[in-house]
Amino acid sequence: MKKIIVIILAIISLQVTAQDSKHTGSQIKIKDLFKFGTVYGAVNGGTSLSDEDQFSVTNGLQTSIVETPYDYSVLFGVRKIKRFGYESKESFKNGTENSYSDAATIGKWNNKVEFLFQGEYKRQQGETYLDQHHFIRYVGHDGCGEDFCFKHFIVKLEYLEDGFADIKYFEASERLTYNSPKIENLTFNIGAAQRLAEPYGYDPLEEWLLSNNNLHYTFLALEEGYTVEFDGQGGEIYYDPSGNEVANSTEVWEAVTIPTVLSDYTEKKRNELDNTIQHSLVIGFDYYKYTKTSWLHTWGNAMPYHYDDGGEFSYHKFVGGQWLDYSAGIVFGHWFNKNLGVFIEGTYNKYWNREWHGFSAGINYRVF
């Protein structure tokens, strides 16, 4: 996180040349950079899963209650992103809004820096996560009068961490844009992307696979400090590395303890590795059209080719060659008349062997 903050501050300090109507050929000032920005913070909470009764007959009938603590989130952020026509202006930001348009490649502003820095610490269904989304975007468009022009470009730096989806990466992309001469408001883009992330192609459990493709999980657990004690009557008692009893039968050991052992071991081994950088070709499109009664905003990005550096944990080795990473989004709304309207909005992302998405759809009827 410290490295990300340093990178962000360095980028902001390296001012780009503004070429808008007010500051032609002049340098962007700090106060202009944050003008129209919003700083926000919020605390949200609510009830989680209901308590669950559990029963055991190992030593007579025993009853226990599994309690799930309440959900909450603590959020802080600062953003400067021009709203699209279909986005309403909120009285307050509390972090529960679904700003799907934040994922779009091209924003509403040209020749201006847009940014979002948001962090959220939350507990959901008893599990705690840290979610972060930071990006800086600059869309260069000086109106050179041609559909394809080297002065039409996009530069974007982004950091995303989604604890629930188990995805975390830093991405930089540089693209040229091309305005379709036949379809108004349609823009294509092509360029390069660089992503820094953990080696998602690494499988820590591969070295523990037997010749029959089964996993030698008990031996792995013993290597991790777990112990087994035989009671002399054909039974076993299993202990964790701290000496606490975790299972009193093979069935409990395999069904309850081993999944925890494998999860902890996988996370430990993944954290021991350095992040790797992936260079990829990226192509995409953006389309935006808005009227008061109908609007469509959609975008997509695809990475069909990735440079193979021959690294030990290269994702090329994991999948046996090239693969396709992609992301897409849509925001659509239409009012059939003054009363009846429909909407659908959402995003979908697939990077490496991780997928995360969100959507919303419905019907509105205004009663006068």
- Residues 6+ away with beta carbon under 8 Å from 169: 159, 160, 195, 196, 197, 351
Task: Tell me if 182 sits within 8 A of 174, measured CB to CB.
Answer: no
Can you give the pLDDT at residue 30? 65
User: Do 220 and 158 share a structural domain?
Assistant: no
- The C-alpha angle with vertex 200 and arms to 284 and 165, in degrees rounded to 5, equals 75
Taking a C-beta distance cutoff of 8 angstroms, is the pair 82, 108 a contact? yes
Structural domain total, the chain: 2
Same domain for 211 and 187, yes or no, is no
Q: Which of 227, 254, 272 is the last residue of a domain?
A: 272
CB neighbours of residue 176 within 10 Å: 16
DSSP string, 320-368: TS---EEEEEEEEEEESSSSEEEEEEEEEEEETTEEEEEEEEEEEE---
DSSP for residue 169: E
Q: For tokens 């069909």, what's the residue?
A: 304
Hey, how many other C-beta atoms are within 10 angstroms of the C-beta on 75?
19
The tokens 């090239």 sit on which residue?
A: 322
pLDDT of residue 53: 75
- The radius of gyration computed from the CA coordinates of the chain, to the nearest angstrom, equals 26
Which amino acid is residue 5, in one-letter code? I
Closest to 108 measured CA to CA, from 344, 354, 295: 295
Query: pTM for this structure?
Result: 0.78
134 and 175 belong to one structural domain: yes
Q: How far is residue 133's CA from residue 169's CA, in Å, rounded to a whole number?
A: 10
Please name which of 161, 137, 163, 139 lies closest in space to residue 149, comparing C-alpha atoms: 139
Pair 102, 115: CB distance under 8 Å = no
Is residue 221 domain-shared with residue 338, that is, in the same domain?
no
* Centroid of chain to Cα 339: 36
Same domain, 153 and 266: no
Going by DSSP bridges, is the β-strand pair 245-247/276-290 parallel, antiparallel, or unpaired?
A: unpaired
Q: Report helix, strand and coil shares of the chain as percent, to nearest 5.
A: 15, 50, 35
CA atoms within 13 A on the CB side of 182: 1
Residue 229 and residue 132 in one domain: no
Show pLDDT as tens, one digit a residue, over the chain (368 residues).
555 555 555 555 544 444 444 444 445 566 677 777 888 899 988 888 777 777 766 666 778 777 778 888 999 999 998 889 888 876 566 666 778 888 898 888 888 889 999 999 988 888 888 999 999 999 887 766 666 666 788 999 999 999 888 899 999 999 999 888 888 889 999 999 999 999 887 888 888 887 777 878 888 999 999 999 987 777 789 999 999 998 888 888 888 899 999 989 988 888 888 899 999 999 999 999 999 999 999 999 999 999 998 888 889 988 989 999 999 999 999 999 999 999 999 999 999 989 999 999 999 998 87
Assess whether 29 and 174 both reside in one domain. yes
Last residue of a domain, one of 272, 302, 322: 272
Q: What's the residue count for the chain?
A: 368
> What is the structure's pLDDT at 353?
86
Burial of 84 (0-12, 13-18, 19+ CB in 10 A): middle
**pLDDT value, residue 13:** 52
Kindly state whether residues 264 and 335 are assigned to the same domain: no
Cross-strand bridge partners of residue 176: 153, 190
pLDDT at 25: 45
Full residue range of the structural domain in which residue 153 is found: 2-202+273-365
Same domain for 178 and 310, yes or no, is yes
Whether residues 133 and 195 share a domain: the answer is yes
